[in-house]
């Protein structure tokens, strides 16, 4: 059924990432790598001992060496998600001698994409400049009061962990010379916003070629809200998590947002942070201003997989105490 213009607002927001889908994969990765910055954050060694009087099996002590990294996404508007499981291609010791990459973590059976993580916090707005304060002081004018803290949403770095052979602590000369590899990122050619009024409606609204939604219930008070959304086909399109190198349709729902009276997404999350995003079902919330005007679906158009190369150097190794 074709929705009426009164009940459907479709807004196209084009955010081309400047990457042609016909370029060679290596060139795509080089271009896309400019959108990321990878740093190692910590390296830890852990040894676990088992009490034979308690353990039902004869278990030997286990050692674990983990390298934790942060992936800073420099332009979150262009990145749909990243895979937190890296693929290690080269590993060297302090002298630059190659170490078998097999001593790094093996590749898992399934590599999943995870959405960028945001946190909300109160941020104090900037106060008047020193020059303005000085001028007001000289002119004996009252100083401007500081503004009230504002609730802001900030993008946090994505996490990536590399499991290494604990024997490297002794064999690598106290330092990993270089870790070289890549991780996967999911990007889209453009984003499209499909917005529907936050009110019950008999119309079916198409989001993707194989998915429609209908707002069956939608209500809000000053301090709470509730909605129920039906999907066709029932249960929505395929909700299998997106995997690295897996099939990608031409359009994917990547976010569902509740839009307030100011036209901005509210702090109420309308679904789980996953790929693809939740589409139908029921939701509710309370607290603060719950005046909801629209439900916005963010659609990724022509998503593609990308290998993002990274290289880390001169990582000190812990010195485990041997007994």
Q: What is the C-alpha separation between 314 and 279, in angstroms, rounded? A: 45
- Nearest partner of 282 among 292, 273, 295, 271, judged by Cα: 271
* Burial (CB count <10 Å: 0-12, 13-18, 19+), residue 70: middle
> What pTM, to 2 d.p., does this model score?
0.77
Is 15:77 a contact under the CB 8 Å cutoff?
A: yes
Query: What pLDDT is recorded for position 107?
Result: 65
- The strands making up 211-220's β-sheet, listed across from edge to edge, are 205-208, 211-220, 224-232, 281-286
- Number of C-beta neighbours around residue 193 at 10 A: 17
- Nearest partner of 255 among 217, 207, 288, 204, judged by Cα: 207
Query: What pLDDT is recorded for position 38?
Result: 96
3-class state of residue 234 by DSSP? coil
Query: What pLDDT is recorded for position 5?
Result: 42
The helix, strand and coil proportions of the chain, stated in percent and rounded to the nearest 5, come to 10, 50, 40
3-class state of residue 91 by DSSP? strand
Dihedrals φ, ψ of 30, to 5°? -65, -40
3-class state of residue 30 by DSSP? helix
- Number of C-beta neighbours around residue 235 at 10 A: 11
Please list the pLDDT of the chain residue by residue as tens digits (323 residues).
Answer: 444 444 443 343 333 333 333 333 444 487 889 999 999 999 999 988 888 888 667 778 888 899 999 999 998 888 999 999 898 989 999 999 998 876 556 566 788 999 988 887 777 777 777 888 787 788 878 877 777 777 677 889 999 999 998 888 888 889 999 999 999 999 999 999 999 999 999 999 999 999 999 999 999 887 889 999 999 886 665 678 899 988 999 999 999 999 988 888 887 765 557 789 989 999 888 876 678 999 999 999 999 999 999 999 999 999 876 65
* Burial (CB count <10 Å: 0-12, 13-18, 19+), residue 293: middle
Give me 9's structure tokens.
């607002």
Give me 105's structure tokens.
């973590």
Is 1:28 a contact under the CB 8 Å cutoff?
A: no
- Nearest partner of 72 among 36, 31, 42, 41, judged by Cα: 36
- Nearest partner of 41 among 64, 65, 70, judged by Cα: 70
Q: Per DSSP, what are the bridge partners of residue 308?
A: 183
Separation of CA 191 from chain center: 16
Q: How many residues does the chain have?
A: 323
Sequence spans of domains, the chain = 9-48+63-122+151-316
Q: What is the C-alpha separation between 274 and 242, in angstroms, rounded? A: 9
Give me the residue label for tokens 């936050």. 198
Query: What pLDDT is recorded for position 191?
Result: 93
Q: What is the C-alpha separation between 241 and 252, in angstroms, rounded? A: 11
The DSSP 8-state label assigned to residue 104 in this structure reads B
| C-alpha distances in Å from residue 164, one per residue of 100, 108, 109, 311 | 11, 14, 18, 16
């Amino acid at each position: 059924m074709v929705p009426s213009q009164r009940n459907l607002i479709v807004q196209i927001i084009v955010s081309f990432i400047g990457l042609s889908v016909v370029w060679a994969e290596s060139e795509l990765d080089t271009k896309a790598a400019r959108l990321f910055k990878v740093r190692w954050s910590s390296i830890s060694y852990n040894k676990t001992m088992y009490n034979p009087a308690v353990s039902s099996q004869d278990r030997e002590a286990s050692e674990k060496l983990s390298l934790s990294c942060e992936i800073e996404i420099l332009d979150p508007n262009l990145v749909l998600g990243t895979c937190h499981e890296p693929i290690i291609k080269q590993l060297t010791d302090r002298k630059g001698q190659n170490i078998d990459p097999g001593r790094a973590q093996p590749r898992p059976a399934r590599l999943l994409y995870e959405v960028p993580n945001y946190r909300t916090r109160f941020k104090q707005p900037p106060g008047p400049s020193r020059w303005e304060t000085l001028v007001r002081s000289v002119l004996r004018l009252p100083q401007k009061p500081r503004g009230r803290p504002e609730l802001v949403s900030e993008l946090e770095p994505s996490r990536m962990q590399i499991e290494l052979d604990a024997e490297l602590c002794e064999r690598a000369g106290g330092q990993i010379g270089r870790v070289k590899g890549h991780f996967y990122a999911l990007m889209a050619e453009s984003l499209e916003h499909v917005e529907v009024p936050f009110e019950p409606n008999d119309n079916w609204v198409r989001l993707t070629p194989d998915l429609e939604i209908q707002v069956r219930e939608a209500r809000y008070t000053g301090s709470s809200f509730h909605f129920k959304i039906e999907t066709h086909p029932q249960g929505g399109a395929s909700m299998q998590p997106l995997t690295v190198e897996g099939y990608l349709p031409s359009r994917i729902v990547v976010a569902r947002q509740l839009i307030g009276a100011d036209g901005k997404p509210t702090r109420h999350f309308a679904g789980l942070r996953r790929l693809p995003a939740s589409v139908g079902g029921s939701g509710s919330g309370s607290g603060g201003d719950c005046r909801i005007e629209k439900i916005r679906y963010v659609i990724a158009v022509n998503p593609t997989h990308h290998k993002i190369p990274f290289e880390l150097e001169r990582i000190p190794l812990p010195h485990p105490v041997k007994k």
